[in-house]
Amino acid sequence: MLACFAPTETPALPLVPLTPETLPGWRAAHPLGPFVAAAGFAAKAGEALILPSENGLGGALVGLGEGPASPWSFGGLPFALPPDTVWRLTPDGLANPSSLRGKAVLGWGLGAYRYARFKAPARAPARLIVDAADEPVVTEIEATWRVRDLINHPASHLGPKELAEAAVALGRRLGASVEVVRGEALAQGYPAVAAVGRGSARPPCVVRLAWTGPAGPEAPLIALCGKGVVFDTGGYDLKPAQAMLQMKKDMAGAAVALGVAELIMRAGLPVRLLLLIGAVENAIGAQAMRPRDVIRTRKGLTVEVGNTDAEGRLVLADLLAEADAASPDLLIDFATLTGAARVALGPDLVALFARRDATADALLRVGAEAEDPLWRLPIWSGYASWLDSEVADLGNVSSRPHAGAIVAASFLDRFVSADRDWVHLDLYGWNDSARPGRPEGGEATGMRAVWRTLLSRYARGSSTPPSRSVPA
């Protein structure tokens, strides 16, 4: 059990959630009402007030604010309440207490995370009582902590080898078969991945994880692909120093894909799973790819390298080609792919590209419900010619300065069959500053949205959504 939670039988103090609407009634009915009024507690979202008792602590109030309750109202409590104290949520008088409880557990667990590999946290978190009904949310939190840890590890401690080892350990723990492809086999089977990683002293590799759920070998196949660039210098198109400060997070797509895979396997979803991770470092070296090099891809298409800093799409090209050849029911890739997506949407919104409207609609709806929002952008065929090359089948960057995220998706589109139910997520994977429930550092952006969509789609054996493409 995570250190921020406690089992049901643990003695605990009451934690009372209140809205501005329910606060006056609570004050009128409670002996500490005058104290709460004098303290100025107004039940604003995330506001907390510790209540006294004759023996010391008597409980605490937490504000939910106006409108629908949010997990983030609870995200600051693990470190706002005294260390090692234990609390029991008592949502008396509030509508939908079970829904509120799920949000409280989620916000609490996400807010209690601290990266602690090299420096112990300054204090222990307060703990919240959880029971068996909370297990699905707790599982999501545990996966999130692991994703955050992977992203937060410095590149000196997480190279391609270590990222592959994390995937192997996950597969072994949950009964999957895992293969790591290196060396000459990598050069032959994944030539674009090999080209991206050949400038680094730490060799690249591809991880192939396969798992069959309880429905057996006839179950629908989900394929997940993750960009695992453990550090991105930009190659010979070198990034400025300031832009490199966060480049340890360029493997966030692989980390999020691992998180989704973990949730699928732990839940025993009735599917088959194929997870592909391209683990590589984009460095400068005697063997590094150069601008205007032409490289071969697994699919057979040749690519002219217009910019060595557009390496993530090359990694994904090989992974997508392999995943597509397996004829999955659903194919999803995860990548910190473009700065253009961040310019358009900022750090919190994941750029969603999807072939089928029904799949996109489900992800958008579930993402909003899960407080893990996405925003759809088009795979716009009108920009496909911007990737034309005089010397290769296509270039890896556009000849024009516009629509960088859409053009990157258009590049990937060339490596996936036209009739495939394919989703591309261009995510940030990072919190630039600390907020309740979202500490500064690595973040599993998009993971809950994808996982809960998969759970809704496959847990009851529902059929594939009908194919309807975005107009172009």
No. of helices (H) and no. of strands (E), the chain: 15, 19
Place of tokens 């680094």: 200
Both structure tokens of 328: 């999955």
* Known active-site residue 239: yes
Q: How far is CA 406 from CA 7, 194, 369, 426, in A?
A: 47, 25, 26, 10
Using an 8 Å Cβ cutoff, are 427 and 446 in contact?
A: yes
3-state secondary structure of 163: helix
H, E, C per residue of 95-149: CCHHHHHHHHHHHHHHHCCCCCCCCCCCCCCCEEECCHHHHHHHHHHHHHHHHHH
Q: Which residue out of 127, 148, 313, 420 is catalytically annotated?
A: 313
The secondary structure of residue 239, as a DSSP letter, is P
Beta strand 127-129 with 5-6 is parallel
Beta strand 302-304 with 394-395 is parallel
How long, in residues, is the chain? 472
Of residues 384, 371, 309, the one with CA closest to residue 340:
309
The catalytic site residues sit at 239, 313
